[in-house]
């Protein structure tokens, strides 16, 4: 009986050894291939844009599918916005609120030589933003800040999609299907306090695209909006529906002597960039 048990144990051990040996062989092939794939993701991609009869080559990482296409369409998705930014000079200050992977800030740094403050609250997207700035040697023209802007200083519940690679625009201030306690909390500050606490320069050009709470961002920068050096504001607005904010934003900015530039967009889209200029 002991002899039979011993033989059975030896047989099971040899079978286990066989499969473990096969698994290690497969793993030794798979893991290097996997890491080679990861290395390729970190190798910078390139996109070229032509502006003012000059060609500009922009390096960027491709860790996100949407981040990839945002960079590849840098001069096509928002042609009116990039046209306005191309008119900036080295004396201008751009605040890029909701900078995403940096497509607008990089455009400003390369084409206009304007200085940019790039705000991006979502951690994974911010990592791509700062990497893209660094890849293009634009740290002297772009300061990245891993915070959001709002109407008060707080730790704000932010929805973050659990798929980090297919979407670079994954966060919004509040998803109704979650309670505040279920969401991660990230830093949100008033724009006026960013100027005060970090000695940032006030913008001459303000761009806001934060997937919904644009009005809250504006309410946190009353001193900035009152500064006469700020001449242009471009805000992504929702024109109709339950989440519409266009009329409220327009009314609020009128208090600071800004009016809509009706020539900026003739799009029929419900969500679009609206250009406001100081009267």
> 200 and 110: one domain?
yes
Taking only the tens place, the pLDDT of each residue in 93-104 is 999 999 999 999
pTM exceeds 0.85 for this model? no
Helix (H, G, I), strand (E, B) or coil at 241: coil
**Residue 189 is encoded by which pair of tokens?**
């500050």
> 124 and 249: one domain?
yes
- CA triplet 83, 194, 214: central angle to 5 degrees? 55
Question: Is 277's pLDDT higher than 70?
Answer: yes
**Residue 168 is encoded by which pair of tokens?**
């670079």
CA–CA distance from 238 to each of 188, 212, 228, 235, 251 (Å)? 22, 8, 27, 10, 14
Number of folded domains that form the chain: 2
**Residue 263 is encoded by which pair of tokens?**
């020539």
> 130 and 19: one domain?
no
> 2 and 135: one domain?
no
**Higher model confidence: residue 71 or residue 149?**
149
Taking only the tens place, the pLDDT of each residue in 8-51 is 555 555 565 555 455 545 444 444 554 455 555 556 678 888 77
**Residue 46 is encoded by which pair of tokens?**
């390139």
Name the one residue in this structure whose structure tokens are 């893991």: 31
> 91 and 26: one domain?
no
Residue % of the chain over a pLDDT of 70: 76
The least confident of 33-47, 155-169, 188-202, 255-269 is 33-47
What is the reported pLDDT for 27?
47
The boundaries of the domain holding residue 236 are 44-278
Cα separation, 167 vs 2, in Å, equals 61
> 101 and 19: one domain?
no
What is the reported pLDDT for 169?
47
Give the CA count within 13 Å in the CB-facing half-sphere of 33: 6
Average pLDDT for residues 51-61, to the nearest whole number? 82
Mean of per-residue pLDDT scores for the chain: 83
Domain CATH for 130: 3.40.50.150
């Amino acid at each position: 009986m002991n002899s039979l048990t011993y033989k059975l144990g030896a047989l099971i051990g040899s079978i286990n050894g066989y499969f473990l040996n096969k698994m290690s062989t497969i793993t030794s092939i798979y893991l290097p291939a996997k890491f080679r794939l990861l290395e390729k993701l970190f190798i910078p991609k390139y996109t070229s844009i032509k502006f003012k009869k000059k060609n500009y080559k922009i390096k960027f990482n491709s860790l996100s599918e949407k981040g990839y296409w945002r960079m590849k369409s840098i001069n096509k998705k928002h042609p009116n916005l990039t046209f306005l930014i191309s008119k900036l000079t080295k004396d201008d200050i751009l605040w890029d609120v909701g900078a995403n992977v940096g497509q607008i800030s990089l455009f400003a740094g390369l084409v206009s030589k304007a200085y940019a403050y790039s705000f991006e609250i979502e951690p994974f997207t911010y990592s791509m933003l700062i990497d893209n700035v660094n890849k293009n040697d634009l740290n002297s023209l772009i300061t990245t800040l891993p915070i959001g802007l709002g109407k008060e200083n707080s730790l704000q519940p932010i929805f973050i999609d659990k798929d980090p690679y297919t979407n670079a625009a994954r966060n919004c201030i509040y998803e109704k299907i979650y309670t505040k306690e279920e969401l991660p909390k990230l830093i949100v500050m008033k724009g006026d306090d960013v100027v005060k606490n970090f000695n940032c320069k006030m913008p001459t050009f303000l761009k806001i695209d934060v997937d919904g709470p644009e009005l809250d961002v504006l309410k946190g920068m009353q001193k900035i909006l009152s500064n006469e050096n700020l001449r242009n504001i471009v805000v992504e607005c929702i024109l109709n529906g339950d989440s519409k904010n266009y009329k409220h934003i327009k009314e609020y900015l009128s208090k600071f002597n800004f009016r809509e530039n009706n020539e900026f967009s003739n799009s029929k889209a419900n969500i679009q960039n609206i250009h406001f200029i100081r009267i």
